[in-house]
Structure 1
Amino acid sequence: MSAPDLAPRRLVGGIIAVWVSAAVIAVAIGLAVPAPDRTMWLAVGLGVCLILSFGLQLATGRSHGFTQRVAAGILGAMVTMGFVSLGFALAAVVPG
């Protein structure tokens, strides 16, 4: 039998780390990849975020709410990557 946690760790840090990683990955893809190939590479980047989210939540060692935490990390990563890619798309449209 295991003893309950007296002061459980905050579990939001792993979710926020995935969101920040998604922003960094999306900016790197936007700067390094030509415009026609960005969609494919953003999908690969989202797959990396999925593996990262799964690994970070697995490392916490808490099973309660595991699926919800992984889903929150991935959903936030998808929204973050969407906003960054929208920014690159608008930058491509605006003459400069």
Structure 2
Amino acid sequence: MTDAPMTPSRTWRGIFGVWLAGLLGAILVAVFAPVELRFTWLSLTLAACTLLAFVVQLRTHQKVGFIDRLSISVVGVLGILTVAAAIIGLVALFEG
């Protein structure tokens, strides 16, 4: 294990990857999930992205800044899924 700090591009690549997975999950839920189960699937997407964030950050083998990187990843996914839930809710409100 090395104590050299991670480069900024390598740090953000893992974070953006988790955010992209959250965005992809939100799109898949909005398109394919039954209407009555969409919010359930969004919460499962958040759980899956949280686990993915742990895997991505543990795989870097860098203990310095682990909590910061993990927090940024999870809070970003939470924001993405919050926006997706608001959009899904508004569409459902105006549809029926």
| TM-score, L = length of structure 2 | 0.85
- Going from structure 1 to structure 2, the CA distance change for 1:4 and 1:48 (only over 3 Å counts) comes to closer
- Which structure carries more helix by proportion? 2
Q: 1:39-94 CA distances to partner (integer Å, 9 max, x unpaired)?
A: 11111111100111001001111101111211110110011011112122222233
Rg comparison, structure with higher value: 1
What is the alpha-carbon root mean square deviation over aligned residues? 2.0
Local SS of the residue matching 2:64: coil
After the TM superposition, list the runs of 4 or more consecutive aligned residues in structure 1 that deviate by more than 6 angstroms: none
- State the 1:4 CA deviation: 4.9
Structure 1 partner of 2:22 = 22
Structure 1 partner of 2:7 = 9
| TM-score, L = length of structure 1 | 0.85
Q: 1:6-49 CA distances to partner (integer Å, 9 max, x unpaired)?
A: x7322111111111110100110111112221111111111100
- Structure 1 residues not aligned, in runs of 5+: none
The percent identity for this pair of structures is 24
- Going from structure 1 to structure 2, the CA distance change for 1:70 and 1:94 (only over 3 Å counts) comes to same
- Structure 2 residues not aligned, in runs of 5+: none
